């Protein structure tokens, strides 16, 4: 099995600050970290490799510092890492990011499976994974909470994967031929801690860097120029709470509350 | 001890001092101030709670309390483990929660001055934003108040390299039990002018004064830290190796351990899985320093040593996510044991660290002879262990009888090895009957004389530290 895991380098903070004039996130002075939800994708890839053998390639797009996210994945046991880094990639929205990543995936060769986290903790869109799948023309299964069954390709026969995915109402079992792209949720596993040896190896590992030219992209297709998304305005939604205090004897109060709920068709 | 009740007249006068909103008397409010993190059976209701904002208000409250002979119990965040904030004789609980400002970060002198109600982690983050570092890492750092840290002389995980709270306290403003405002120490690294009253107040468990301002010394923030989590089949092997490391490495800032009973409990409580959780012990070693390369080299040497000593694996955390995962487990053991058992007693013994293997052997033996399960975790680097006997299916009466027998034996063993009965939680109300086991008559008399001189009416936090006459445990 050849597995690609896409990871993102995100600001390491619980409080995202938005620059209201540019509409982009304030990243200066905030240390970065691998997107916590991507660890589940890395872990699932490692478990598949332990079961079926093969290779795990981790891929990221970002500033040179994003190497740190890739090294964390390497320290957990990924085999090699590729970073798409180029000033002209800066400002990419989800479409341009997925487009750039898709070029890189094609360049890196055939993968049986592509794994992504559910979403990044900074942008919170959850779009890049599915968009990447669509651009590569792969079947996409989102919110996977368990891989129930997997048959790698064998003797010219196409592989097959069957997953349980989390939906708002419960779980859904869904199958797809390989190659496919999955986005995984927290429930799927418990990411391992890196070992000291893994970390030492990852510190010395060479990370392949690819630029705009390496991907044979034009500057119009990526970065801010290649991004159709425009942030028109940023504001905090105002929340209005009309609190009614009922301070009458209990029987009377209950009656008032029942009336209120009925009036608003809540019971 | 004879004290008077809080009368309506006293309530009125308290309201005149701090304002009506800051005197609480309703039963629901009083209940919240009847206990800290000590076991529930020690709870005791106050008659009134006051929340002053200034040292002058506190001075007026103390004068009033002396006039009426009413006990006053100061309180921080209520995270203490020995009942220091429990109003044993009722009276007034004086909560410092409103005095919560960081007053000054003095970069030139590398000192921070704060009010006692500041949350420890808030102060740490505030100074770290300036590249400075307050290193005392208490498990409850996200909720405990620095005033309580000073009153109890809190220790925490990094004592092995950075010492305990008292090492960082340079100045105090305090209201004495008789209601005088005094300023002790200051931003002076050297100062031998008179008796060192600062360090007398540190760790006095709220019995010698009410701290209203603290000046802490700071150090430079280490730029790089690595945490190594290491499962061992044999706890004794692990401990022996680590003690050898301390002679060679100056960069070790924490050496913690948790036994398998503690790990199983915390896994259940936090719903997480730690690797090799069936091993007898997990060590948690922190290495820190200013240079990434140097820290890695030190970690490499620690790794070699741990591996040679039979470590099953060495896991490493170098970022917030993985570090949080490891430390969250370590910090939640006491909570986990409390949640999973009817009765527990979080103990806090300390021995010279060379005696750790021996005290562990003896604890194991005592656990067997008393038939009490005793999860064990704590700070190997400084000799401070937290054996936490748990009740199992004993009923209340049997439990407290059996616990008392176990504790007496444990404290005797501790004493034989040159140790003591509390390292960082304090005597409080929990251990006062055991004080004579480890302190002689003359020593206790000296302490009592100090208390008497500072607090002639004995109204500040009575029922703590000193054994009640005739209540001495053999």
> How would you write chain B as a 3-class SS string?
CCCCCCCHHHHHHHHHHHCHHHEECCHHHHHHCCCCCCCHHHCCCCCEEECCCCHHHHHHHHHHHHHHCCCEEEECCCCCCCCCCCCCCCCEEEECCCCCCEEEEECCCCEEEECCCCEHHHHHHHHHCCCEECCCCCCCCCCCEHHHHHHHCCCCCCHHHHCCHHHHEEEEEEECCCCCEEEEECCCCCCCCCCCHHHHHCCCCCCCCEEEEEEEECEECCCEEEEEEEEECCHHHHHHHHHHHHCCCCCEEEEEEEEHHHHHHHHHHHCCCCCCCCCCEEEEEEEEECCHHHHHHHHHHHHHHHHHCCECCCEEECCHHHHHHHHHHHHCHHHHHHHHCCCECCCEEECCHHHHHHHHHHHHHHHHHCCCECCCEEEHHHCEECCCCECCCCCHHHHHHHHHHHHHHHHHHHHHCCCECECCCCCCCCCHHHHHHHCCHHHHHHHHHHHHHHCCCCCECCCCCCCCCCCCCC
In percent, the amount of chain A with pLDDT more than 70 equals 95
The pLDDT score that the predictor gives to residue A156 is 86
pLDDT value for B467: 83
CB < 8 Å to A192, chain B: 275
A29-43, A246-260, B42-56, range with greatest mean pLDDT: B42-56
Q: Residue A195 and residue B326: Cβ atoms within 8 Å?
A: no
CB contact under 8 Å between A33 and B321, yes or no, is yes
**Closest CA of chain B from A255, distance in Å:** 28
CATH of A2-210, one of 3.50.50.60, 3.40.50.620, 3.30.70.20, 3.40.50.1980: 3.40.50.620
Question: By the CB < 8 Å criterion, does A33 face chain B?
Answer: yes
> Mean pLDDT across the stretch A155-161?
92
Pick the residue from chain B with its C-alpha nearest to A32: B319
Nearest residue, CB atoms, B315 vs list A72, A194, A203 = A194
Chain A nearest C-alpha distance from B109 (Å):
26
Least Cα separation, residue A214 to chain B (angstroms)? 32
Q: Measured between CB atoms, does A12 come within 8 Å of chain B?
A: yes
Q: How many Å lie between the alpha carbon of B15 and the closest alpha carbon of chain A?
A: 28
Q: Does pLDDT of A16 surpass 70? A: no
Kindly report the nearest CA distance between residue B129 and chain A, in angstroms.
11
Say yes or no: B299 contacts chain A, CB-CB below 8 A: yes
Per-residue tens of pLDDT for chain B, all 474 residues: 689 999 999 999 999 999 999 999 999 999 999 999 998 889 999 999 999 999 999 999 999 999 999 999 999 999 999 999 999 999 999 999 999 999 999 999 999 999 999 999 999 999 999 999 999 999 899 999 999 999 999 998 999 999 999 999 999 999 999 999 999 999 999 999 999 999 999 999 999 999 999 999 999 999 999 999 999 988 877 787 788 888 888 899 999 999 999 999 999 999 888 889 889 899 999 999 999 999 999 999 999 999 988 899 999 999 888 998 899 999 999 999 999 999 999 999 999 999 999 999 999 999 999 999 999 999 988 999 999 999 989 999 999 999 999 999 999 999 999 999 999 999 999 999 999 988 899 999 999 999 999 999 999 999 999 987 544 333
Domain segments of chain B: what residues?
Answer: 8-95, 102-220, 224-331, 341-433
Q: Locate the chain A residue with the closest alpha carbon to B273.
A: A190
Class of the domain covering B102-220: alpha beta
- Which residue from A minimizes the CA distance to B300? A196
Rounded to the nearest angstrom, the minimum Cα separation between B316 and chain A is 5
Size of interface A-B (CB pairs under 8 A): 42
Establish if B273 touches chain A: CB-CB under 8 angstroms.
yes
Q: Is the pLDDT of residue A81 over 80?
A: yes
Residues of chain A neighbouring B329 (CB-CB closer than 8 A): none
Residues on chain A touching B299 (C-beta within 8 angstroms): 196
Across chain A, what does the average pLDDT equal?
92
Domains B224-331 and B341-433 share a fold: yes
Residue A24, pLDDT score: 66
Question: So what's the pLDDT on residue B310?
Answer: 87
Q: Does the beta carbon of B456 lie under 8 angstroms from any beta carbon of chain A?
A: no
Q: Examine the pLDDT at A123 and tell me if it is beyond 90.
A: no
The architecture that CATH gives domain B224-331 is 2-Layer Sandwich (3.30)
Q: Which residue of A has its CA nearest to B312?
A: A195
The answer to whether B272 faces chain A, any CB pair under 8 Å, is yes
Q: How confident is the model at residue A22 (pLDDT cuts 50, 70, 90)?
A: low
Residue A15 has pLDDT above 80, yes or no: no
The answer to whether the Cβ–Cβ distance between B320 and A12 falls below 8 Å is yes
Q: Which of A36, A40, A47, A196 to mutate to test the interface with B (most CBs of B within 10 A)?
A: A196
Nearest-Cα distance to chain B for A123, in Å, is: 19
Is A256 touching B (CB cutoff 8 A)? no
Look at the domain B8-95 and name its fold: 3.30.43
What CATH number belongs to B341-433? 3.30.70.2740
A241 or A197: whose pLDDT is higher?
A197
Whether A39 has its CB under 8 Å from any CB of chain B: the answer is: yes
CB-nearest partner of B273 from A34, A190, A199:
A190
Verdict on whether the full-model pTM lies above 0.90: no
């Amino acid at each position: 099995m050849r597995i690609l895991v896409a990871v993102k380098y995100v600001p390491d903070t619980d409080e995202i600050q938005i620059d209201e004039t540019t509409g982009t996130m304030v990243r200066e002075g905030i240390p970065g970290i691998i997107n916590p939800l991507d660890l589940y994708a890395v872990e699932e890839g490692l478990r598949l490799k332990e079961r079926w053998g093969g290779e795990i390639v981790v891929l990221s797009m970002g500033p040179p510092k994003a190497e740190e996210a890739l090294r964390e994945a390497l320290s957990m046991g990924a085999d090699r890492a590729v970073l798409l880094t180029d000033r002209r990639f800066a400002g990419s929205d989800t479409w341009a990011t997925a487009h750039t990543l898709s070029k890189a995936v094609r360049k890196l060769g055939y993968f049986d499976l592509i794994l992504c986290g559910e979403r990044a903790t900074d942008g919170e869109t959850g779009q890049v994974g599915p968009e990447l799948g669509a651009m590569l023309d792969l079947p996409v299964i989102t919110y996977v909470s368990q891989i129930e069954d997997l048959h790698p390709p064998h003797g010219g026969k196409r592989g097959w994967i069957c997953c349980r995915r989390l939906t708002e109402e419960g779980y859904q079992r869904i199958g797809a031929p390989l190659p496919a792209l999955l986005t995984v949720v927290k429930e799927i596993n418990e990411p391992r801690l890196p070992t000291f040896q893994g970390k030492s190896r990852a510190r010395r590992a060479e990370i392949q860097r690819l630029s705009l030219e390496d991907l044979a992209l034009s500057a119009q297709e990526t970065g801010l120029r290649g991004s159709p998304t425009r942030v028109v305005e940023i504001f905090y939604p105002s929340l209005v709470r009309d609190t009614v205090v009922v301070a009458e004897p209990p029987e009377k109060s209950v009656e008032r509350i029942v009336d209120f709920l009925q009036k608003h068709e809540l019971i | 001890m004879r004290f008077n009740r809080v009368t309506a007249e006293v309530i009125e006068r308290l309201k005149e001092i701090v304002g009506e909103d800051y005197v609480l008397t309703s039963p629901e409010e009083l209940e919240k101030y009847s206990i800290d993190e000590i076991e529930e059976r020690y709870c005791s209701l106050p008659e009134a709670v006051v929340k002053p904002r200034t040292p002058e208000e506190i001075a007026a409250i103390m004068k009033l309390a002396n006039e009426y002979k009413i006990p006053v119990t100061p309180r921080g965040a209520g995270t203490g483990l020995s009942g220091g904030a429990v109003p044993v004789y009722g009276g007034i609980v004086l909560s410092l929660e409103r005095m919560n400002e960081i007053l000054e970060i003095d970069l030139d002198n590398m000192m921070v001055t704060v009010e006692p109600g500041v949350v420890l982690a808030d102060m740490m983050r505030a100074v770290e934003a300036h590249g400075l570092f307050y290193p005392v890492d208490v498990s409850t750092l996200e909720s405990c108040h620095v005033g309580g840290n000073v009153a109890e002389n809190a220790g925490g995980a990094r004592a092995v390299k950075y010492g305990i709270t008292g090492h960082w306290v340079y100045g105090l403003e305090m209201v004495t039990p008789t209601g005088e405002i005094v300023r002790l120490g200051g931003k002076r690294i050297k100062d031998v002018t008179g008796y060192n009253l600062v360090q007398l107040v540190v760790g006095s468990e709220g019995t010698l004064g009410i701290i209203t301002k603290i000046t802490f010394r700071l150090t430079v923030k280490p730029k790089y830290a690595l945490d190594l989590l290491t499962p061992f089949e044999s706890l004794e092997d692990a401990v022996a190796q680590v003690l050898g490391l301390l002679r060679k490495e100056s960069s070790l800032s924490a050496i913690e351990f948790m036994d398998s009973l503690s790990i199983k409990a915390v896994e259940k409580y936090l719903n997480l899985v730690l690797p090799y959780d069936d091993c007898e012990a997990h060590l948690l070693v922190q290495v820190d320093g200013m240079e990434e390369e140097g820290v890695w080299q030190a970690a490499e040497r620690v790794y070699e040593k741990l591996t040679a000593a039979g470590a099953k694996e060495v896991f490493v955390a170098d970022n917030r996510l993985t570090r949080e995962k490891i430390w969250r487990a370590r910090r939640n053991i006491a909570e986990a044991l409390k949640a999973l058992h009817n009765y527990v007693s979080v103990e806090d013994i300390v021995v010279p660290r060379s005696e750790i293997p021996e005290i562990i052997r003896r604890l194991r033996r005592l656990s067997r002879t008393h038939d009490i399960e005793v999860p064990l975790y704590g700070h190997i680097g400084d000799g401070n262990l937290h054996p936490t006997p748990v009740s199992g299916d004993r009923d209340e009466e049997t439990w407290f009888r059996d616990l008392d027998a176990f504790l007496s034996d444990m404290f005797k063993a501790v004493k034989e090895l040159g140790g003591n009965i509390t390292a960082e939680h304090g005597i409080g109300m929990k251990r006062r009957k055991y004080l004579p086991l480890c302190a002689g008559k003359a020593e206790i008399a000296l302490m009592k004389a100090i208390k008497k001189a500072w607090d002639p009416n004995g109204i500040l936090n009575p029922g703590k530290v000193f054994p009640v006459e005739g209540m001495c445990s053999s």
